[in-house]
Structure 1
Amino acid sequence: MKIKAICRHEIVYKNGKSPLAIRFTHQRTHKTVSLGISVEPHYWDKETETIAANCPERAALQGQIDNTLASYRKKIQRLEALDIPVNFDTLFDAKQINPLKS
């Protein structure tokens, strides 16, 4: 399963910002999960999948992105260690351990 942070450029709020999300890809199928944060599109570096250095709120926003990505990667490692197949159902199953609460 591939995980990457994205800026949803196709959506622009009234304040000029676009939402950030995580895109999961598994067997050519995508699932997008919102991070609940937004940034002006010109502050997003698509190449490195990070917020540009000149963004005023960079440290806090990038920290939130990194923590969420790390949580999902940790959950994937747990599933693999338990020999549970990693797919959208197992990754987002509410009965499983929630990566955002651990």
Structure 2
Amino acid sequence: MRVDTAVVTILGVRIVLVFPHPSYVYPGVGDLLIKRLEPHFPTTPIMLVHLEYGEERAYATFQTAPFLTALDIDQIFLREVDLDVLPVEEIELPF
């Protein structure tokens, strides 16, 4: 599964925005998707977002309303993440 993501700072908080299929932006399936994303973004809060004309929805393990309201979609640069590929871990050099 591939999803578009963006690491942004909203209201002074650095978070990961993920733009999956709208069926994932709900409790339950959203929690499972967030768990799959955590290895790719281990220290950053993750918010699932669905934006369409007339319908804006977000899901996360934190309160999303203030972040969704302050979101400036024109300032987002997307990066695709393939959840079927393990993230590359940084290896600490021995010296």
Structure 1 length normalisation: TM-score? Answer: 0.23
Higher percent of residues as strand: 2
Give the helix-richer structure, 1 or 2. Answer: 1
- Greater relative CO, 1 or 2 (CA 8 Å, sep 6+): 2
**Structure with greater Cα Rg:** 1
